[in-house]
Amino acid sequence: MNSPRKLITLDEFTIQETRQFPQATGELSSLLRDIGLACKIINKQVLKAGLVDILGKHGATNIQGEEQMKLDIYANDMLISVLNNSADCAGIASEENDDFVPFTDEFSMNSKYVVLFDPLDGSSNIDVNAPIGTIFSIYKRISPLGMPCTAEDFLQPGNKLMAAGYVIYGSSTMMVYATKVSANGFTLEPSIGEFCLSHPNIKCPEKGKIYSINQGNSCKYDDGMKAFLNYCMENNKEDGRPYSLRYIGSMVADLHRTLIKGGIFMYPADRSNAKGKLRLQYECNPMSFLIEAAGGLGSFGEGRILDIEPTELHQRTPIYIGSKNLVNKALEFVSPKVLAN
Ligand code: AHG
């Protein structure tokens, strides 16, 4: 019998994907559902952010005498709580925590996966109602089952990721995630409270018309980077017009646009930050995994982001990410020596 509806929920989709792999146990699907659940609860709170003056400012005490929590702390606590309750997560590492957190109950210690996340990326945008997001990544642990997970489980390169993605809290709320098979987007249908498949098999356009960077920092960039910015500002596109600059200052929002419309997003090294600003394990690896699953490219200037061997949980890296052609063009300017080799 034909299904009377066209909607495919996140759960249905991940279960259908799992069926392609007879050895799969369904744990990865459950974990994605758990992350989706945490993000739906976070979304509810984000939607109320504009009402803080009415409901009470963060840090202040509300009418019931409870202290209002900062949204990024709320998001962090929610993800930890949901993943701790899940039977499929051995431990987490968060941009908000100094160290990773192993879960030590019997079920968690026997779980195959660890999860890393930036609970609320772009949180400085909350006050101006611009999109923000949660970024997540999932690795299969290396440490033996039956004991608490260890640091080495979280310090794996991006090329070992099993799944990664983000939830964007914007004009609609979307979860976009990739496995090694494909990248897919799910829009939250508020009336049924489910993420529904809306962007199947996303492909990042090979070319793009938009560059995205905090150009205010350009006085601190090296000559190669300055030359690439000049290239973007000149008439270099096929239609004879300069590239457009778009920069929200929320990586999830800037990357979401780059994924769908094409273009390049950059946070390079500069005179004050030799490694750039963005975090390898919480931001750059998951986004590079996703973009590459969609046919794009993520580079740190001298190679793939996904091939960096992490040494610290909170390490930073420069990033050039987006449409393959435009990232390769940027690399011609920023790492000519590497390209010549
Ligand atoms: P935060 O979560 O502290 O607001 O940081 C946001 C991150 C990232 O999402 C964004 O691309 C970048 O920092 C913006 O940095 P600049 O303000 O330096 O451009």
How far, in Å, from the CA of 283 to the mean position of ligand 1?
A: 10
Q: List the alpha helices (DSSP H) in the chain.
A: 10-19, 27-47, 52-55, 71-85, 106-109, 151-154, 223-233, 251-261, 285-293, 324-334, 336-340
Q: Whose CA is nearest to atom 18 of ligand 1?
A: 214
Ligand 1 mutation target, pool 117, 166, 278, most atoms within 8 A of CB: 278
Report the predicted TM-score, pTM, of the whole model to 2 decimal places.
0.93
Q: Whose CA is nearest to atom 11 of ligand 1?
A: 251
Q: Are 10-199 and 210-333 the same fold in CATH?
A: no
How far, in Å, from the CA of 248 to the mean position of ligand 1?
A: 9
How far, in Å, from the CA of 319 to the mean position of ligand 1?
A: 13
Ligand 1 mutation target, pool 96, 124, 135, most atoms within 8 A of CB: 124
Q: Whose CA is nearest to atom 15 of ligand 1?
A: 249
Pocket flag, ligand 1, residue 110 (CB < 6 Å): no
Pocket flag, ligand 1, residue 277 (CB < 6 Å): yes
The DSSP letter of residue 124 is: G
Pocket flag, ligand 1, residue 250 (CB < 6 Å): yes
Q: What are phi and psi of 267, to 5 degrees?
A: -135, 90
Q: What is the pLDDT of residue 2?
A: 58
Q: Whose CA is nearest to atom 5 of ligand 1?
A: 122
Cα separation, 338 vs 341, whole angstroms: 5
DSSP E strands in 41-158: the ranges are 89-94, 101-102, 113-121, 132-140
Beta carbons within 10 angstroms of residue 172's beta carbon: 11
* Radius of gyration in angstroms for the set of CA atoms belonging to the chain, rounded to a whole number: 20
Can you give the residue ranges of every domain in the chain? Answer: 10-199, 210-333
How far, in Å, from the CA of 278 to the mean position of ligand 1?
A: 8
Note the CATH number of domain 210-333.
Answer: 3.40.190.80
Pocket flag, ligand 1, residue 214 (CB < 6 Å): yes
Residue with tokens 């205010």: 216
Pocket flag, ligand 1, residue 121 (CB < 6 Å): yes
Note the CATH number of domain 10-199.
Answer: 3.30.540.10
Q: Whose CA is nearest to atom 2 of ligand 1?
A: 122
pLDDT < 70 positions in the chain: 1-5, 50-69, 235-238, 336-341
